[in-house]
Amino acid sequence: MYLRAANINIDDSVLVQQSQMGDATAMERLILRYQNRIYNVILKMCGNADDAAELAQETFVKVIESIDKFQGKSSFYTWLFRIAVNLTLNHCQRSSRTATRSLDAEETEPDGTATQTLRECLSDERAVDPAAVAQSRELCELAKKCLLQLEEPQRAVVVLRDIEGMDYAQIADVLNIELGTVRSRLSRARSSLRDILEAMLK
């Protein structure tokens, strides 16, 4: 029932207005609409499923508590992601070892095929096949591990751009930074990711 309700194509601003007037169903629709994306971004940033679930939950609780104060200066989408990213960055700063522990626990050696794919990717012998990446669990884990080794501000821009698919303006709005900073930070993050991947394959 919730999923059906979430799929009804009602604009965010309408649902926000209804929520501000005390319509709990509207708020439920907003949560159902964004819960997977929020959870996914948080998980990619913090690397721990339990923490991600808790942070996503905390994000929505904060949204419900603050919906009356939302004035619509930015879109609900960027406001929601700003809350989620800020909570996650604070969490990561508080417990920077959590991600490392999680990775240590799940550490798996990539099999030969995955390693070869990655090497080819890095050496530019052929373009990366998204299907191959998706099917290879080892490759996914390796990419996530790389991501978690980035500094938190760089990780945030990569996740928002490459995983959530935000444009630069939205990223700047969510992180409250300049557009030029997004550009340079993303460029440095991709260079760092490449360096980290190369170091892993050696």
Contact pick of 25, 36, 66, 96 for another protein (by CB under 8 A): 36
Site for another protein in 134-163 (CB under 8 A): 134, 139-140, 143-144, 147, 158, 161-163
Pick 112 or 165: Cβ nearer another protein? 165
Q: According to the 3-state scheme, what is the secondary structure of 40-72? A: HHHHHHHCCHHHHHHHHHHHHHHHHHHHHHCCC
d(CA 98, CA 104): 10
d(CA 132, CA 16): 40
Contact pick of 4, 71, 127, 202 for another protein (by CB under 8 A): 127
The answer to whether 192 touches 150, Cβ cutoff 8 Å, is yes
d(CA 81, CA 59): 9
d(CA 103, CA 84): 22
x/- contact string, 82-121, with another protein (CB under 8 A)?
Answer: ------------------------------------x--x
d(CA 85, CA 56): 10
Sequence-distant (6+) residues with CB within 8 A of 99 are 46, 47, 48, 92, 148
Pick 43 or 73: Cβ nearer another protein? 43
49 lines the binding site for another protein (CB under 8 A): yes
Region from 9-17, 79-87, 99-107, 124-132 binding another protein, contact rule CB under 8 A: 124-132
CA dihedral 5, 8, 10, 11 (to 10 degrees): 100
Contact pick of 15, 16, 46, 52 for another protein (by CB under 8 A): 52
Q: Which residues bind another protein (CB under 8 A)?
A: 2, 28, 31-32, 35-40, 43-44, 49, 52-53, 56-58, 60-61, 64, 118, 121-122, 124, 127-128, 130-131, 133-134, 139-140, 143-144, 147, 158, 161-163, 165, 167-168, 183-184, 186-188, 190-191, 193-194, 197
